[in-house]
């Protein structure tokens, strides 16, 4: 398989968009990015679509929440194994069949809801979607391979991918809610499945940019979890995920109504903008940079807590926009550390472990935020993401002195 050679050092970057324009100078990068965008958008659609579809048919948000939580738990268990297969056999050989299985699970859920099947069938169908490959991780692995000799380009690529994540989770829920309301309740799930399959097929077809599969030695056959520093870093991701999960639940409880989605989107918008700016600056590595980002996140997460105390929705919206600006820099720095710690032939598994830790943190944060809202009120609930960010900061600071990753 021919490998495109990096030309990232051939021309200096000019202007704030220069580093991003350089990324797409290599052949095939635009094509796999387009496929990845199409395939990743449904990640922000499926959960909202499932809740609307199930709650509408069965009249129970509790059942809808339990089904989506089951899918989240199944993904946390299955995703690292799918990523390990991707590293071992290649992205195209594993991602396509895994995506087809996940799409069948989504279609099965759609049919079960449409036919008003017993509740247990919903859990079984949605659990099958856990085979969905981590398309964001596969895209980051491609960038890391293509620009393996240019840390600055990898830093910019990670920032770009984080911005894409924010856009997908900003527009995905809006698109899903619109389709379910304007067409029929199953429209969001159906559209998401079609987009996911189409995007992964386009992405997998770009074989020239796919990282090569290398022979696995006994040393590298073990999980990246055993890599020194990785468990501590995953603990940071777990606490960071709790920030996101708690913030979403508390904001939905505080704002309420259809405007809640738009208010939440401001946080994603702030993160997207900050991520693009962060990607254009000179990269600096290590846990010290991560600790600095987490310190900024802890401080900025206090703004919604203060704004909620005023009772002003406008103040809260502005606070969420500012608070979101710490998200992308933190995630970009964290993912860069994951790439540094993980052996090159296990990048997909390493990054999927980070995503799995995030998902676990989101679930814990959602539960903690919901409990706090129930017992202390929505305004007090904003203390949960502040506490979670502070915990992530403490864990990162401990990593600075113990693991010495920087």
Predicted confidence (pLDDT) per residue in 8-40, tens digit: 443 444 555 667 777 787 788 888 888 888 988
| Residue whose entry in the numeric block shows the structure tokens 């900050």 | 274
Q: Which of 187, 212, 237 is the last residue of a domain?
A: 212
**Residue at 1 is within a domain:** no
- Assign residue 392 the CATH number of its domain: 1.20.1250.20
Shared domain check, 265 and 151:
no
Residues 6+ apart with CB under 8 A from 333: 289, 290, 293
Q: Tens of pLDDT along 116-172?
A: 889 889 889 888 888 888 888 888 888 888 887 777 787 778 778 877 877 787 777
**Residue 9 located in a structural domain:** no
Of 165, 180, 212, which residue sits at a domain end? 212
Q: Do the Cβ atoms of 51 and 65 come closer than 8 Å?
A: yes
> Which residue from 151, 152, 139 is spatially nearest to 209, judged by alpha carbons?
139
Q: Are residues 106 and 243 in the same domain?
A: no
Task: Enter the tokens of residue 120.
Answer: 């247990």
Residue 128 CA, distance from chain mean position: 20
Cβ-in-10-Å burial (0-12, 13-18, 19+) of 279 comes to: buried
Same-domain status, 39 and 182? yes
Residue 84, H or E segment: helix 61-89
Q: DSSP code of 1?
A: -
Q: Is residue 133 part of a domain?
A: yes
The total domain count for the chain is 2
> Which of 154, 183, 212 is the last residue before a domain boundary?
212
Q: Same domain for 296 and 191?
A: no
Whether 57 and 128 map to the same domain: the answer is: yes
- Classify residue 218: in a domain, yes or no: no
- What is the domain range of residue 374? 223-406
Q: What average pLDDT does the segment 218-228 reach?
A: 60
Mean predicted confidence (pLDDT) in 83-107:
88
Q: Does one domain contain both 310 and 385?
A: yes
Asked if residue 242 and residue 200 are part of one domain, the reply reads: no
Supply the pLDDT for residue 104: 93
Q: Tell me whether residue 11 is in a domain.
A: no
Verify that 169 and 227 share a domain, yes or no.
Answer: no
* Contact between residue 268 and residue 392 where contact means Cβ atoms under 8 Å apart: no
Q: What is the token pair recorded at 82?
A: 């799918």
186 shares a domain with 320:
no
> Is the same domain home to 285 and 164?
no
Give the pLDDT score at 108: 92
Stated length of the chain: 406
Are 273 and 198 in a shared domain?
Answer: no
Q: Which residue, 56, 78, 43, is CA-closest to 175? A: 43
How sure is the predictor about 287, in pLDDT bands with cuts at 50, 70 and 90?
A: low
Radius of gyration of the chain measured on its C-alpha atoms: 21
Answer yes or no: is pLDDT of 70 > 90. Answer: no
Residue 262 confidence (pLDDT): 73
CA 12 to centroid of chain Cα atoms: 31
Based on the fold, state whether residues 258 and 139 are members of the same structural domain.
no
Give the mean model confidence (pLDDT) for residues 224-248.
Answer: 81
């Amino acid at each position: 398989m021919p490998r495109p050679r990096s030309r990232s050092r051939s021309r200096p970057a000019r202007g704030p968009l220069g580093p991003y324009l350089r990324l797409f100078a290599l052949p095939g990068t635009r094509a796999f990015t387009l496929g990845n965008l199409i395939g990743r958008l449904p990640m922000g659609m499926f959960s909202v679509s499932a809740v609307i579809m199930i709650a509408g048919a069965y009249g129970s948000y509790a059942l809808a929440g339990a089904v989506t939580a089951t899918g989240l738990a199944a993904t946390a268990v299955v995703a690292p194994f799918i990523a390990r297969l991707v590293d071992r056999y290649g992205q195209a050989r594993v991602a396509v069949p895994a995506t087809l299985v996940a799409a069948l699970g989504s279609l099965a859920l759609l049919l079960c809801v449409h036919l008003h099947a017993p509740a247990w069938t919903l859990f079984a169908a949605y659990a099958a979607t856990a085979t969905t490959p981590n398309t964001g991780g596969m895209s980051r692995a491609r960038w890391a391979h293509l620009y393996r000799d240019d840390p600055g380009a990898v830093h910019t690529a990670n920032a770009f991918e984080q911005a894409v994540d924010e856009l997908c989770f900003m527009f995905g829920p809006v698109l899903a809610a619109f389709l379910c309301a304007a067409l029929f309740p199953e429209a969001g799930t159906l559209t998401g499945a079609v987009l996911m399959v189409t995007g992964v097929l386009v992405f997998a077809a770009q074989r020239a940019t796919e990282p090569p599969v290398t022979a696995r030695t006994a040393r590298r056959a073990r999980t990246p979890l055993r890599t020194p520093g990785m468990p501590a870093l995953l603990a940071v991701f777990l606490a960071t995920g709790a920030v996101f999960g708690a913030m979403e639940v508390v904001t939905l409880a505080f704002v309420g109504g259809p405007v809640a989605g738009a208010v939440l989107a401001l946080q994603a918008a702030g993160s997207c903008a900050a991520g693009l700016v962060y990607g254009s600056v000179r990269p600096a590595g290590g846990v010290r940079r991560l600790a600095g980002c987490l310190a900024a996140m802890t401080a900025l997460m206090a703004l919604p807590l203060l704004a909620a105390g005023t009772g002003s929705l406008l103040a809260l919206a502005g606070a969420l926009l500012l608070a979101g600006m710490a998200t992308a820099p933190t995630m970009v720095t964290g993912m860069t550390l994951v790439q540094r710690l993980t052996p090159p032939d296990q990048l997909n598994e390493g990054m999927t472990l980070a995503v799995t830790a995030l998902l676990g943190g989101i679930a814990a944060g959602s539960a903690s935020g919901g409990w706090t809202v129930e017992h202390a009120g929505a305004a007090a609930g904003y203390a949960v993401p502040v506490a979670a960010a502070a915990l992530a900061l403490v864990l990162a600071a401990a990593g600075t002195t113990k693991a010495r990753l920087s």
